[in-house]
Each structure stands twice: as C-alpha cells, then as structure tokens.
Structure 1
Amino acid sequence: MVQKFARLAKSTTLTDLPAEAVNESCRILLDSIGVAVAGIYELKGKAGIEYGRLTGGPVGAGDATIMGTGDRVSVFGAAFANGELINTLDMDAVMPPGHVTPYVLPGIMAVGESLAKDGRSVIEAIAVGHEISCRIGMGMDYLRDTKDGKVDPPPVFGYAETIFGAAAAIGMLRGHSEEVLANGLGVAGSISPVNSQVAWFQHAPSSTIKYLHAGVLTQSAFTAAYAAELGHRGDIQILDDAEFGYRRFIGTRRWFADRMVENLGEEWRFVQLSTFKPYPHCRILHALIDEMTEMLDTNRIGVEEIEGIKVFVEGMVEQPVWLNREILTPHDAQFSIAHGIAVGAHRVPPGRAWMDPGLIFGDSVMNLMKKVTHEVHPDYVKLLTGNAASRPAKLEIRARGQIFTGERRYPKGSKSPDPASFMTDGELIAKFLNNVDGILPRANAERIVDLAMNLAKVEDMGEIMRLTAPTPGTAAAA
C-alpha cells in the first residue's frame, strides 16, 4: 500500500482532480486560515506560537509565516505553531478518522511558502494529503463503530494515521521521486505518534493537548519526509503486514486494506466526507445547537425563561470528557455537553466570542448549565448506520410551563441528503471573515478570500501566508 500511495502522490496533477476536489481543497485552506487566526489569544494557540518561535530559529530570519502574528521562522517552527492554531478553537474542518487538517495542512503551508510554490501544486498536496489520511482512517477503527445494534467504541483510537498524508504532501512539494516518497511513508509509519485519545476521553477535566498534539505530528511528518530525502530507507511493508505492521502497533481492531486503496486516484473520498464546523465546539453538539437555536428563535424564548433543557445525544459520548461540568478553562467548554448547550442557548455569534471568559464563566451560562440534562438518543444507531453524515439530535426545552420539542438528523456543515446542511461558499467566507475580524486588516482578509478560493491561479503560496499578519498596533501584532 505504501507504494500505491507514493504513486498517487507522485503522479497526481491538477488535471487529474475532479472540480469538486479542487474546490474542496480551496475551502479547506480558507477555513483553516480563519480558525487559526481566531485562535491566537487562547492558551493552546499562544503556546503553539511561542514554541514555534522557540524552535523556528531567529524570528524574522525564516521563510515561513506563523499565522496571525506576521512572524517568519523556519518551516518546522511555522508548521508546529500553525497546526496548534488550526485546532485551538476546535472549529476546524473534520472528516474520517476525525480531525485531519491540523496535521496535514501546516506542512503544506510552510513548505509551499518557503519554496514559493504555485497554487496548483498546493491544491495537489492538499487533496492527496487529505485523501491518503482519510482512506487509511476509514479502514481502521472508528469512534462511531456499532456492533449488534449497539455502540461499539474501540479500546484504542486516535488520528495518528494522518502522518501518512502529512508526510506525502511535504514530499510532493519538495519534488521527491516516487521511491523517496515511498521511503518517507515507510518512515512515517515507524515514527507515528501513539493513539492516546481514549485516555483523553476518560480523564476529565481533560488535557489541553487534546486528542493528538498537532504540532508534534507536523514535526514527525517533516522528520519522515526529510529522512527519506536524506537517504533513509523506510519500512515499505508497514501497511501491508497485518500481523506485525502498523495495524498491530497502532492498536486498531479492524483493518480494511483493500478499501484503503480501492479506486485510488479515481475516487476522491475526502470531498464527500469533509465537513465544516459553524461552532467552536465538538461536532457531537452541532445538530442539537442548530435545532435549539431555531426553536428558541421561532418561539421567542429568552434564556431567562428556560426552566430546563433535555438533549438526546450519540451513545459514544457517554464518557467523562463530554459529561464534564467542571469548566476550568475555555478548552473545557469545547467538549462539555451541558456547558455547550448553555452557551449555544445564549445565541452569541459563533467564533472566538464563544471563548470569552465573561461568557464561559458568566452566571447566566453557568446557571443554565445546571438545567441541562441528557440521555442517549433511542434511535442513534439506526440513524447513524442509515447515513454516515447522521448526527441524530433531539431535545426538549421546558419554558413558560410548556415543553417544546425538536429533532434534527444532519448538522450544518455536512454533505447530506438535506441540502440545507451544506455550508455554501458564501457561508464559509462569512465564517472566515468573522473569525479574522479585528485581527487582520479587512483588505488583507478580503484578499485572502479571493486568493484561496481561486488558488489554482495563485503564483506564490507565500502571498497568502504573508497576508495573515495582523493589523499593526493590535495586541496580536505585539
């Protein structure tokens, strides 16, 4: 399989990609820049920036940009920081196995800028990097696995397999031969981070490292690509050997190798499976927040009128990280079911405003959180197996002595049988502009939109990255 993925990485050109894959690559880039810039004031983002500066050589002497700062450091420092920034608000694009973009895109951004790569090359790397990561992830254990009509979450899980797509994308931009690309993928499998996400689920309040430290994986991907470039021989059999290879030591129970490479280069699965998040909160609540907001607005129910909210959730979220009500940091607010519903009920425009301590720790949100209860959705497994885009949501709101009920199957941002769930280009652009408002100059923001959405015409990726510098005089520019 390593050699097949290497062949895909070496042979794919823009003309091989369907229009939908080109457009989705552009959308992923634009969305990621927006959520990264919006994360510069939060703990995870600030720590990523500082470590990126620390490891990136003298600030200003490098050739890759840390988004939202204007700092130019080495590709290694920039990719580390940008990976952390993209994932800071938990508002980044998702696809199987879960989060992919924070691990795959930062290396593309950094190398693309440092080598002044054109937009066509960047699109190719984005598409191939996401496709490889998505395909391998789909062939392994999945959080929403079911068995005999019941939820069957894996004992070991995570997003470490994205290292393959990340390493391939770096190698593509650096012009590696098919042989070097294959060796890079072989090295990537051997140095892959462990999948520790299940431990993260179980320990609340949870680690701010989250399910996988994006900065660390970007560095591992660089190590793999550069090791191969410098002559190292990778383990080419690492994905084929089901007994001793990647399957065994990464801890997955299932391994559908044939599906991983089925119609490779002809069918671009990441396009249909990618979704965009309108809220800076774990995806499990999005359909519930969509439906709750509509119910509150339609019935003109004020927060002060709410006597209780009961939500019916996915069975796989009956774990401490989501059940947590001990909100110590904005990070905790990104995963708590009860707190997320309470914040959503306040109808604050989603974005970095949801990270405002005045909102998160305010009496109104904290008091409403106490009124939120939940149960597992009775038809969760049936609806999920009927369509993979399903995130079954049902809720009851008690107010004015009445019970208001609502139900929704597909959250906004997904591609589903419901056309309304798709996030249009216009909606995605509005999300981006809201996220960067007050940080980037408006002219820069609008120029980024134009360049990112027409990426195939861009002559130098660095033009986009340099536009992510903040407005002079803002705290971000300090």
Structure 2
Amino acid sequence: MAIADQIAEFVAETTFDDIPKETVSFVKHLSSKIIAAMLTGSTTLAGVKTADYVKSKKGPEEVGVIGGGFRCQLEDAVFVNGMTSHAAELEDDQFPSATSDITVFPVIFPMAEKLGLTGREIITASALGLEIMNRVGMFPLSFKGYTDLPFYGVIGAAITAGKALKLNPEQLKRAMGIAMGRASGFIVNFGTDAHYIESAGACKEGLLASLFAQKDMTGNPDIEKWLLDLYSGHEHEMDTQRIVQGLGSSDWRVHEIWVKKYPCCFLTHRHIDMMFDILAEHKISYEDIEGVEIDVGPVDYTCNRPQPKDAEDARFSFQHIMAALMLDGDIDSHHFTDEKLSDNRFQDAWPKVSVTNHPGWPAEFMSGVARITVSLINGEKIVKEREQALGGPQFPLAQDQFKDLYSKYTRKVLTTKDMEDTWQIISNLEKVENLQEFLDKIDFPGK
C-alpha cells in the first residue's frame, strides 16, 4: 500500500480515544505555548502590519484572530495566526528537520470557531497534523537551503484541516497532493519577515488544500516521489518506508518536538541553556568575561551575525543574544528592539562573541554537539557541551514549566484572571464542548 494510502486511512479512522494519554497531554501543552506565541506575536511589528493588511480588505467576519481583536475570513485568520505565532519566535520544532507546531495550532483554533469543534476534536486534529508532519518531515532539507518548517508544515496544516473537516481517505490524499505543490521556504530568509510569511503561507495553503479537496479537486499524493526528488543529491539514501513504520502504535513522533523557551532562533538555544548554567554556577558578571566562543555546524552558523541590522536580525544573532545574557542575565522579547540595538552596552558586547563553523558536522539544524567556551579576564576558561536543549525529548518540561511559559508570554496581553482562566481551559481541553467563551478571551483580549 502506498504511503499516502496508509496515512489517509490512519487519519480518517483515528479517534480521540486512540491517542495515548501522554500524547494528549503533550499536545495540550504545545497548544498553550503557541496560543501564547500568537498573543505576544500579535504585538510585534510584523504581526501588527499583517493584521492591518487583513483588516484593510474588509472581508467577511467569519472568525476571530487570536490577539487581534477583530474578525475576518477563515483563511485570513489562519494566515495572521501563522504570522504572529512565528513573529514571536516561540515555535516548537522537531529536529534535525525543523517541522513545527506553528503550522498546526494557528489553523485549528479558527476552524474550531467556524465549525463548532469540541476540545476533543481540536486535540485529535492537532495530534494527527503534528504526527503526520513529523513523519513525512523527518528528512532534513537544509542541505539544499530549504527551510523544513514551512516546506513540510503545509502538510501538517492540510492534515489538521482535513481531520477537522472530516475528509474521507480519498479526499485526504487529494489534500496532501495539493499541499505538496504549495511547499516553499528558504534558509536565506532567516532574520526577515519573509521567514514568518513562509510559515503563515503554509498554514493558509494547507487549509486551502483541504477545502479544495473537500470539493473533490485533485492532487497527486505520491509522497515517495516527492520526497525522493527533494532529497536528490544527499549523501545518504532516503528510506521513505520509515514514514509509516509504527504508525498508530503507542510511539507517536509528536514527542520528538523540542519545546522553545526563548523568543529567538531555536538554533541558539543549546548555547543559551549552557550560558545560563555558566552564569549561575560560576557567579560571574559581564565585567568578568573576556570572550565567548560558540561552536556550531554549517546550518546553525547562519546565526553568526556580528552586527545585527534590525530587531528581527537580532533574534538570529549569537552575538546579540549572548550580549543580553552577559549584560542582563536574561533573554526576553524586550531584548529584540531598536532600543537595544542602539544601546552602546550591547554594541560593545557584540565583539566579545565569536562563532566557529564546523563544516564537517552534518548540514542540518542542531547538528553535532554544541559547545560554548567562556574565557574570563583572570585567564580561566569554562567549557560546556550539550546535544539537546532543555525542552528536547531527552529533557522534557513539566506542566508547571509550561504554565510558567504561558504566563511569561501572555502577561502583556491577557489580564491575570484571563491568563489563569484560559490556562485552566487548555489544561482540561478534552472536557470542553463549547469553546466560544475561551476563543473570545484569546481573540479579543481585555474585552
């Protein structure tokens, strides 16, 4: 049986009760993270510009936009949500191919409003979208300069939307075929608004793929050929049968997702964790540090940006991120502003940070074992290595840590009461039949 046939049957037949309890819990936690991302992302310049564009169209007011405070057509709401979730730089990704939950949750919540979905239906569609996306997207495309996140994300969006629409297996295959033709995304766009537009586009195109499939429009779901063509030129052969190995067993690939804790490029997070540890363990200050050396692979080296051009570029700059940690002992959204970029303290700190590229490491995201060397004024050198960041599959976050992240990234948008109320709803999502009150709280914060 072809891969698309197996996927389509699995998606169509799987119910909430088929999903392992630990997967249900993890999907709820991920949804809380991305709701927080969309809320805080709605305040970013990229988020505001996107919302302004959609509002200027004066289209049908079908569903609310998370954090937007307005209603618009379904596909536009999905696009804005996709934009804000990424503009916050808080997406959670599978590695070494960076498939992400920001092409799933921005799609399902507006659909939940339009279709009147229950909490169980949201969890089921989201879990399936994440699972299939992670399986199809387990093969890194970064060696070709492609960004896996939107490239594979359009399939995750299509599966999520298709399950919400209750498509049958034949329609799901058509949706996958249509979605594959809309795949796009390039590493060269890191640090620009185009990077966010790519993933927002994946959300919208995946939704449209399923809506077109619902109307019996056709597409070729030959996933094997699509992937083999994409992977041509790679040093290793691709075994596409891995996509369906164990499909439907208790071992869901959803759990391969790493949870992002800081609002900047994920490729810097292993080093951020190590720098936090060094600062805490050795009680050192900015004045004690002579230099910081970062060791990375060829793809992660894209975050070697000694003089970031603007706030978005700074989110992809090891130099700026390490400067924030050295100077403030923290990293948060307020560090990625024009004010910080023009701050003499930060500009003086950037040259302290050097980045060494290891071209022999795999040409994929998060390759090799990350290393950081902090040289002190007194001549001492502190070296740390880390393969996974905290929040990766080897170091999963607990529920209270997810709640801390939800609070941290919603506190500027939601009232304390609404933050607590919405957190409780997300935590018990499978028990919620009518989500309109919840959606109103996150779509129209403060109202």
**TM-score, L = length of structure 2:** 0.90
Question: Could you say what secondary structure the match of 2:194 adopts?
Answer: coil
Is 1:14–2:16 an aligned residue pair? yes
Q: CA deviation at 1:315?
A: 4.0
Q: CA deviation at 1:141?
A: 3.1
Structure 2 counterpart of 1:415: 393
Structure 2 counterpart of 1:120: 120
Q: Which residue of 176, 180, 196 maps to 2:186?
A: 196
Distance (whole Å) between structure 1 residues aligned to residue 366 and residue 28 of structure 2: 22
Q: CA deviation at 1:56?
A: 6.9
Structure 1 counterpart of 2:382: 405
CA change 1:469–1:157 in 2 (3 A) is closer
Question: Could you say what secondary structure the match of 1:311 adopts?
Answer: strand
Distance (whole Å) between structure 1 residues aligned to residue 227 and residue 269 of structure 2: 33
CA-atom RMSD, angstroms? 2.7
Q: CA deviation at 1:155?
A: 5.0
Moved more, 23-32 or 263-272: 263-272
Q: Which residue of 25, 28, 31 maps to 1:26?
A: 28
Structure 2 counterpart of 1:86: 85
Distance (whole Å) between structure 2 residues aligned to residue 391 and residue 361 of structure 1: 34
Moved more, 170-179 or 155-164: 155-164
CA change 1:314–1:224 in 2 (3 A) is same
Question: Could you say what secondary structure the match of 2:442 adopts?
Answer: coil
Q: CA deviation at 1:337?
A: 1.8
Is 1:284–2:258 an aligned residue pair? no
CA change 1:470–1:397 in 2 (3 A) is farther
The answer to whether the 8 A contact 2:92-2:101 is kept is yes
Is 1:327–2:313 an aligned residue pair? no
Structure 2 counterpart of 1:148: none
CA change 1:317–1:389 in 2 (3 A) is closer
Q: CA deviation at 1:231?
A: 2.1
Distance (whole Å) between structure 2 residues aligned to residue 119 and residue 55 of structure 1: 31
Equivalent runs, 1:179-190 vs 2, <5 Å: 179-189=170-180
Equivalent runs, 1:262-301 vs 2, <5 Å: 262-301=245-284
Q: Which amino acid aligns with 1:74?
A: Q
Q: CA deviation at 1:98?
A: 0.7
CA change 1:47–1:18 in 2 (3 A) is same
The answer to whether the 8 A contact 1:129-1:168 is kept is yes
Structure 2 counterpart of 1:95: 94
Structure 2 counterpart of 1:425: 399
Structure 2 counterpart of 1:225: 210
Q: CA deviation at 1:251?
A: 6.4
Structure 1 counterpart of 2:157: 166
Q: CA deviation at 1:349?
A: 4.2
Question: Could you say what secondary structure the match of 1:402 adopts?
Answer: coil
CA change 1:284–1:85 in 2 (3 A) is same
The answer to whether the 8 A contact 1:284-1:391 is kept is no
The answer to whether the 8 A contact 1:377-1:393 is kept is no
Distance (whole Å) between structure 1 residues aligned to residue 13 and residue 76 of structure 2: 29
Structure 1 counterpart of 2:134: 134
Structure 2 counterpart of 1:239: 223
**TM-score, L = length of structure 1:** 0.84
User: Is there any run of 5+ residues in structure 2 with no aligned partner, and where?
Assistant: none
The answer to whether the 8 A contact 2:40-2:410 is kept is yes
CA change 1:468–1:142 in 2 (3 A) is same
Q: CA deviation at 1:284?
A: 2.2
Distance (whole Å) between structure 1 residues aligned to residue 418 and residue 232 of structure 2: 45
CA change 1:400–1:155 in 2 (3 A) is closer
Distance (whole Å) between structure 2 residues aligned to residue 364 and residue 155 of structure 1: 34
Percent identical across equivalent pairs?
A: 21
Q: Which residue of 295, 298, 301 maps to 1:312?
A: 295
Q: Which amino acid aligns with 1:161?
A: Y
The answer to whether the 8 A contact 2:324-2:330 is kept is no
CA change 1:176–1:456 in 2 (3 A) is same
Question: Could you say what secondary structure the match of 2:260 adopts?
Answer: coil
Q: CA deviation at 1:158?
A: 3.1
Distance (whole Å) between structure 1 residues aligned to residue 128 and residue 209 of structure 2: 17
Structure 2 counterpart of 1:358: 339
Question: Could you say what secondary structure the match of 1:467 adopts?
Answer: helix
CA change 1:267–1:164 in 2 (3 A) is farther
The answer to whether the 8 A contact 1:440-1:470 is kept is no
Q: CA deviation at 1:14?
A: 1.1
Q: CA deviation at 1:437?
A: 0.8
Q: Which amino acid aligns with 1:192?
A: R
Is 1:209–2:212 an aligned residue pair? no
Q: CA deviation at 1:84?
A: 0.6
Q: Which residue of 168, 171, 175 maps to 1:177?
A: 168
Question: Could you say what secondary structure the match of 1:98 adopts?
Answer: coil
Question: Could you say what secondary structure the match of 1:366 adopts?
Answer: helix
CA change 1:113–1:214 in 2 (3 A) is same
The answer to whether the 8 A contact 2:304-2:355 is kept is no
Q: Which residue of 417, 426, 429 maps to 1:455?
A: 429
Q: Which amino acid aligns with 2:380?
A: I
CA change 1:14–1:292 in 2 (3 A) is same
